[in-house]
Structure 1
Amino acid sequence: MDNQFTNPLGDRGRAAEEIYIRQREAEKAAAAAAAKEKAKQEAEKAAGKN
């Protein structure tokens, strides 16, 4: 059982925090993938492939 003084939110709060962190990481990964794809498209456009 959690010590309420070291973790006042308990397991539910910890799980919610982990979900929040995973969502932020997923958003960062999606943004990075979109930026990479956009850069690829711009490079192809500059090379005259489009």
Structure 2
Amino acid sequence: MRLIDEEFLNRPWKVVPRMTNWLQKDMGYAINKKRVERLYRVMGLS
């Protein structure tokens, strides 16, 4: 959640698909779109 929060603050235009792609390819996390959507809702970003 910390990574998503920091990245969202730096680049607020990163929507769920882009954030998912960034977490998977650049950060090396095995995470899917549904989990990122859920975290966005929990964090109040969507």
Return the TM-score normalized by structure 1: 0.30
Q: Which has the higher contact order (CA 8 A, sep 6+)?
A: 2
